[in-house]
Amino acid sequence: MHQTDHLSRQATQGPRPVPLGEHLVASTTRAAMAVQQETLYAAREFLRGRGFTELLPPLIGPVTDPGGRGAKALDVDYYGHPYKLMTSAILYKQASLRGFDKLFYIAPNIRVEPPETAATGRHLVEFHQIDVEIAGATRDDAMEVAAGLLTHVVQHVLDTVPAVLDELGRDSLAFTELLTGKFDTCTHAEAVQRLRGGGHPQSADAEIDWVGEEHLSREADRPFFVTDYPKGSRGFYDREDPRHPGVLRNFDLIAHGGYGELVSGSERESDYATLVTRMRESGENPAKYDWYVKLVREGIPASAGFGMGVQRLVRFLTGLDALWQVSAYPKLPGVVAP
C-alpha cells in the first residue's frame, strides 16, 4: 500500500492512523463529527448572541501570518502573482474592522508543520479556527469572550450529546471545574518559573514549548490563561505593553488534563509607525505587506481578538488521543495523504 493511499506515520500519542476509507466509517469518527457539529452550532449561537457578524474568510492572499513555530505557508500561482494559502486570517480580521466592529470566521488554515510535530498528537497540516476580532477591545475583553465561548460550547455539548460522550468514554466530571468559576491566570514569567522549578528547561524568551505546555496543562483542574509573552516570541501584530516594554499584551488559553493550548489571542498593534517598526524588528519586509500597511496608514481600529482551534477543542471535548481522530480528512505533518 502506497504512502499516498493512507496515513502511514504513527504518532507517539494515540492509536495508529488508519486508511481514509476505514477512518470515515469508524464509530469514533462519527462520534467526533457529532461533537464537532454541536461545537460549531454552539460557537455561532454564542457569538451571534453577543452581536458578532460571521464573515467568510479568505483562502489565499499576497501574504499571510508569518508566525507559526516553524510552520511554512504553501505558495499558489494567482494569475502570475505568488500568493499564499492562509496560515491564519489575522491580517484580514484587522482589515475587516473598518466595516464590522465585531466579527468572526470559521476559518480553514494550512500550515506545513515540521514532520516531527506529527508525534505531538496536537498538530495537523489542515485545521480550522474560530477566529474572533473586536474593535476597541482590550486583552481582558478578548479573554472574557474566549472564556465565555469555551464555557458555552462545553455546556451545550454536555446538554445535547451526552450519549456520544459516554460512547467515547469521556467522563462529564472532567468539565465540572470548568463550569463552576472564573479561569485562573498566570504570566509567561510565572509559567517559566514553575516549569524550571519542576526540572523543565523552558526558555524565558520564547513561547512555552510543547512539553512545557503539556506539563502545565496536566497540573490544572480547569482551563487557565497564560499572559504577557516576551516581545519577539509572537507576531508583529501583538501589541507591546506601553507600561512594560518588552512584554506583549497577549494570552493563551490552556485546557486542563494535558490537552494544551485551545486559544491564542492578543491586543493588536494598530499604529502605523509602530507596526512598521515591529515588522522590521521581526525580520519582515513591510513592502511585502503593502495592502495591509496601506490600510493601517489610512487607519484601522485598535482591537483585540483570538483564534480558537476547532479540532483542538473537539479533541478536548471528546477526550481522544490525537487531532487526526477528530478530523474527517486528517493530514499529519510529514505525511502525504488524500
Asked whether residue 123 is assigned to any structural domain, the reply reads yes
Mean pLDDT, range 75-91, rounded to an integer:
96
The per-residue pLDDT for 66 is 85
Q: What range defines the domain where residue 264 resides?
A: 3-326
CA distances from 140 to 37, 147, 229, 258 (A): 29, 10, 15, 25
User: pLDDT (tens digit, 9 = 90+) per residue, 185-224?
Assistant: 999 999 999 999 999 999 999 999 989 999 999 999 999 9
pLDDT classification of 96: cutoffs 50, 70, 90: very high
User: pLDDT (tens digit, 9 = 90+) per residue, 325-337?
Assistant: 999 999 999 988 8
User: pLDDT (tens digit, 9 = 90+) per residue, 241-291?
Assistant: 999 999 999 999 999 999 999 999 999 999 999 999 999 999 999 999 999
Asked whether residue 337 is assigned to any structural domain, the reply reads no
**What is the distance between the alpha carbons of residues 171 and 34, in angstroms, rounded to a whole number?**
17
pLDDT classification of 15: cutoffs 50, 70, 90: low
Asked whether residue 331 is assigned to any structural domain, the reply reads no
Residue with cell 516594554: 245
Asked whether residue 263 is assigned to any structural domain, the reply reads yes
The per-residue pLDDT for 118 is 84
Mean pLDDT, range 141-148, rounded to an integer:
98
Asked whether residue 332 is assigned to any structural domain, the reply reads no
Mean pLDDT, range 58-79, rounded to an integer:
89
Within 8 A by CB and 6+ apart from 125, the residues are: 110, 111, 112, 113, 331, 332, 333
**What is the distance between the alpha carbons of residues 51 and 55, in angstroms, rounded to a whole number?**
13
CA angle 222, 190, 176 (to 5 degrees): 5
Of 67, 23, 26, 10, nearest to 330 (Cα)? 23
Asked whether residue 46 is assigned to any structural domain, the reply reads yes
User: pLDDT (tens digit, 9 = 90+) per residue, 290-301?
Assistant: 999 999 999 999
CATH number at residue 186: 3.30.930.10
- Among the residue ranges 7-21, 145-159, 220-234, the one predicted with the least confidence is 7-21
Asked whether residue 56 is assigned to any structural domain, the reply reads yes
| Portion of the chain with pLDDT greater than 90, in percent | 87
- The b-or-e profile of 237-246 (16+ CB within 10 A means b, else e) is bbbbbeeeee
pLDDT classification of 68: cutoffs 50, 70, 90: low
The rounded mean pLDDT for the chain is 93
- Write the DSSP assignment of 254-321 as a string of letters: EETTTTEEEEEEEEBP--HHHHHHHHHHTT--GGGGHHHHHHHHH----EEEEEEEHHHHHHHHHT-S
Task: Give the total number of structural domains in the chain.
Answer: 1
Asked whether residue 187 is assigned to any structural domain, the reply reads yes
The per-residue pLDDT for 14 is 54
**What is the distance between the alpha carbons of residues 54 and 171, in angstroms, rounded to a whole number?**
33
Q: Are strands 75-78 and 184-187 parallel, antiparallel or unpaired?
A: unpaired
User: pLDDT (tens digit, 9 = 90+) per residue, 97-111?
Assistant: 999 999 999 999 999
Q: Give Dmax (Cα) for the chain.
A: 59
For residue 57, pLDDT over 50 is answered with yes
For residue 7, pLDDT over 80 is answered with no
The per-residue pLDDT for 140 is 98
The per-residue pLDDT for 10 is 36
Residue type, 298: E
